Amino acid sequence: MAAKSNLPRNKRDPPDLEPSLMNIHLNGELREVPESLTLAALLDWLKLPADRVAVERNREIAARSTWAETIIQPGDRLEVVHFVGGGAGD
- Contact present, 42 and 33 (Cβ < 8 Å): yes
pLDDT of 11-45, one tens digit each? 555 555 667 999 999 999 999 999 999 999 999 99
- Contact present, 58 and 29 (Cβ < 8 Å): no
pTM of the model: 0.73
What is the phi/psi pair of residue 38, to 5°? -85, 170
* 46-71 average pLDDT score: 97
Closest to 79 measured CA to CA, from 43, 33, 36, 45: 43
- Contact present, 76 and 27 (Cβ < 8 Å): no
| Residue 15, SS3 per DSSP | coil
Number of other CB atoms surrounding residue 6 within 10 Å: 5
